[in-house]
Amino acid sequence: MAFKIGLLGLGTVGTGTAQILLDSTGRHPLLQEIEIHRVGVRSPNKPRAVKLPPERLTTDLEAIVTDPDIDIIVEVLGGLEPARSLILKAISHGKHIVTANKAVIARYGAEIFTAAEEKGVYVLLEAAVGGGIPVIEPLKLSLGVNRINSVIGIVNGTTNYILTRMQTEGGEFADILADAQKLGYAEADPTADVDGLDAADKIAILASIAFAGRIKLSDVHCEGIRQVSAADIAYAQKLGFVIKLLAVAKREEPVPTFPTDSDMLQMRVHPTLVPQIHPLASINGVYNAILVEGEPIGQVMFFGPGAGSGPTASAVVSDIMNIAAVLKTAGESHRLHSLLSCVHQHYCAIAPMSELVTRFYARFLTKDSPGVIGHLGTSFGKHHVSLESVVQTGFRGDLAEIVVVTHDVREGNFRHALEEIRALDAVDSIPSILRVL
């Protein structure tokens, strides 16, 4: 029995996928039973790094997703449309889906998984988070019996690359972003990466699996790295931290029963001061890592290449092979494997950010007048913010620079204290406010 693939897209990931499928020597023998039947592209005459018979390429993507000979549709087009519509149409024609498209899954996952469940087909998406890093299937299968308390990831290679270079070279964000764009590490329009949107898509997907409930993307608090300055990186280093863009999904309080309607999740993406001894602190450059904490497993960290043609294709083809293996075992009359399919229907409750309890780092520019630190301390004290450290670090022009790190504090209280501090005569500005892991 040969399994026929309809490949939508022959760009970075599509090419890597075809290359693995066309070169099965030394890989799992099941790959020899998987055949690329049709390939959908935008420009069929473009030179390609992978050799396929020209008649297999088409611009008619609808014809691929409705082709009765095709068993599995591999969507590696990117973007929201036509990817979403083609996935839904393929499902309605009984095709199984493999996709690398986090943007579509994070926004339309509910619609797609409901349709797939009704039709009895799989939608697998290992490549959508962490590129080549196996994390989705391990969460579903190998860690499935754990009560997950948190999933914390560095899931965007572009921002990790920029922050790592800011750390090692001492440069400013805008200069390093421009250089990253020149070198191909950042897109011409870097918004999705540097504003944290891509990481928000990914943590929404990870959380929906880890916490067995749907996540509304609009519930994920999202801050990017544009406001991180060379000064903050340097102060963080002095205080024993590195700054990373973390995507966090966390149960508010570990609860003894699972799942319950009363579970509240924190869902947030923001630059974070990470203690230098923390396992995520050493993840540098374009690499990704996802730290999962569960009971009884404890901490498990997944680390590896978060993007790239080969690594991402490794995840895509593994998904194809998983589906082929299940179909081969079960035959035509297969019923969905409950550990590979998605069955949950409810939405997770997300706690408001004002209720978050965390440590903060803040940098103030103040007039060089006596008693400023005392005023700051008074305002913080009034709002129950206790300070772990206060560092008067010197001068920026004729303004004094003061950095504080708080103990754990309710975010709402901290924000109220900042409003009061901002109104003080002696305070010129508060250039940075960052959370601390």
Q: Which residues are catalytic?
A: 202
Alpha-carbon gap, residue 324 to 322, rounded angstroms: 5
- Find the binding residues for ligand NAP in span 81-100 (CB under 6 A): 82, 100
Nearer of residues 280 and 307 to ligand NAP, judged by Cβ: 307
- Find the binding residues for ligand NAP in span 65-84 (CB under 6 A): 76-78, 82
**Interface with ligand NAP by CB under 6 A: which range of 306-314, 330-338, 370-378, 379-387?**
306-314
Alpha-carbon gap, residue 328 to 28, rounded angstroms: 14
Residue 305 binds to ligand NAP (criterion: CB under 6 A) = no
- Find the binding residues for ligand NAP in span 23-62 (CB under 6 A): 40-43, 46, 59, 61
Alpha-carbon gap, residue 33 to 30, rounded angstroms: 5
DSSP state, residue 436: E
Residue corresponding to tokens 């995520």: 280
Nearer of residues 82 and 254 to ligand NAP, judged by Cβ: 82
Minimum CB separation of residue 361 from ligand NAP in Å reads 31
Alpha-carbon gap, residue 23 to 254, rounded angstroms: 47
Nearer of residues 129 and 242 to ligand NAP, judged by Cβ: 129
Nearer of residues 59 and 386 to ligand NAP, judged by Cβ: 59
Figure out which of the listed residues 307, 321, 350, 376 binds ligand NAP, where binding follows CB under 6 A.
307
- Find the binding residues for ligand NAP in span 117-136 (CB under 6 A): 127, 131
Question: Which residue number has the CB closest to ligand NAP?
Answer: 11
Minimum CB separation of residue 161 from ligand NAP in Å reads 13
**Number of chain positions touching ligand NAP (CB under 6 A):** 25
Nearer of residues 100 and 242 to ligand NAP, judged by Cβ: 100
DSSP state, residue 187: -
Nearer of residues 130 and 213 to ligand NAP, judged by Cβ: 130
- Find the binding residues for ligand NAP in span 240-299 (CB under 6 A): none
397 contacts: CB under 8 Å, gap ≥ 6? none
129 contacts: CB under 8 Å, gap ≥ 6? 102, 135, 136, 153, 155, 202, 205, 206, 290
Figure out which of the listed residues 101, 159, 266, 432 binds ligand NAP, where binding follows CB under 6 A.
101
For residue 358, the cross-strand partners are 409
Distances (CA, A) of 173 to 55, 161, 182, 227, 327: 47, 11, 14, 8, 49
Q: Residue 251 region, left (φ>0) first, then alpha (ψ -120 to 50), else beta?
A: beta
Minimum CB separation of residue 5 from ligand NAP in Å reads 15
DSSP state, residue 371: T
Q: Are 7 and 17 in contact (CB under 8 A)?
A: yes
Where do contacts with ligand NAP occur on this chain (CB under 6 A)? Answer: 9-14, 40-43, 46, 59, 61, 76-78, 82, 100-102, 127, 131, 307-308, 312
